[in-house]
Amino acid sequence: MKNQQIQAHQFELAKCKIKDTSNKVTDVSLSPFETKGKFLGSWSNHNITGKEMNDFVKTLQKTFIEINNNTRTTYNFIGEVYSAFDALDKEYIQGILTAIESSKKASDQARKASDQALRAQIDINQTVEALQLTVKSLLEFKKTMSNNLTIIRNSLIQITSLEDCNQDIPNIKTSNDSQDAVKIKQQQQNQYDKRIRILYFIIGGSLALTIGQFLFLIITIISK
């Protein structure tokens, strides 16, 4: 049986990419509008100007663009991770199954040999058992990984949907009700920001758990 080798450094690079992506999450920070008038102080209300509102909208749109870029980068990286696991399933696991069949044939032949062959038979049986356990572990991990990727992909779809709803915000002109409009916008933005953080937390946790489980599985296989 040809030796099967797994390069663990590729998954170290994957963890670094995940860390870099999580560090790129944009923090939304919006400056509050003035509420007091310039002439009478607290005795008068400040009317928000068109320039103030346009500056607010520009800052908000810039934040949405950065979040959208980070979302697309994360989504593409997940596709690469999924492709790597798919190749593992098709190549490594199938190679182990082929090796199991070869080991069984060798086991049948070894039974007809001498005492020396009997000792080899014991080693072969142990190898077959270890390979079967390895295949079982890999299949269980593949199932868990697929579930985690589904959770991540659904979260990214929700993020994209939220961003599409908030991407195009028109410039607002000054009016008597402008302060109420700003309060509503700020409340909506706070709700949006909270949902984004929760979804990114779900994504980061699922990715970290998946990579950690896989590295533990690889170390277990190599140490056998």
Domain count, the chain: 1
d(CA 107, CA 60): 69
How many C-beta atoms surround the C-beta of residue 205 within 10 A? Answer: 13
CA angle in degrees (0–180, nearest 5) for 5-103-131:
50
Looking at the domain assignment, is residue 135 inside a domain? no
Q: Is the pLDDT reported for residue 58 higher than 80?
A: yes
Average of per-residue pLDDT across 71-80:
71
Q: Which residue has the higher pLDDT, 184 or 43?
A: 184
Q: Average model confidence (pLDDT) for the chain? A: 67
Residue 158's CB is within 10 A of a number of other CB atoms, namely: 15
Region 152-164: mean pLDDT is 66
DSSP β-bridge partners for residue 214: none
In a domain, 149, yes or no: yes
Q: Is 93 exposed, middle or buried (0-12, 13-18, 19+ CB in 10 A)?
A: middle
pLDDT at 5: 45
Quick one: what percent of the chain has pLDDT higher than 70? 42
Give me the mean pLDDT over the 77-87 stretch: 65
Whether 152 is covered by a domain: the verdict is yes
Detail the DSSP E strand segments found in the chain: none
Contact 137, 220 (CB under 8 A): yes
Q: What is the pLDDT of residue 175?
A: 47
Domain hosting residue 62, numbered range: 9-83+140-223
Q: Does the reported pTM lie above 0.85?
A: no
Average pLDDT estimate for 116-133: 77
C-alpha to C-alpha distance for 193 and 203, rounded to whole angstroms: 15
92 belongs to a structural domain: no
Answer yes or no: is 124 within a domain. no
Tell me if 42 is assigned to some domain. yes
- Residues making up the chain, counted from first to last: 224
89 domain residue, yes or no = no
User: Please, are residues 80 and 149 in contact by the beta-carbon 8 Å criterion?
Assistant: no
Average pLDDT estimate for 165-176 = 49
When comparing pLDDT for 14 and 118, which is higher? 118
45 pairs with which residues across the strands? 36
Query: Which helix H or strand E contains 140, and what residues bound it?
Result: helix 115-166
Backbone angles phi and psi of 164, in degrees to 5: -60, -35
Residues 96 and 131: beta-carbon distance below 8 Å: yes
Q: Is residue 203 part of a domain?
A: yes
Band (4; pLDDT cuts 50, 70, 90): very low
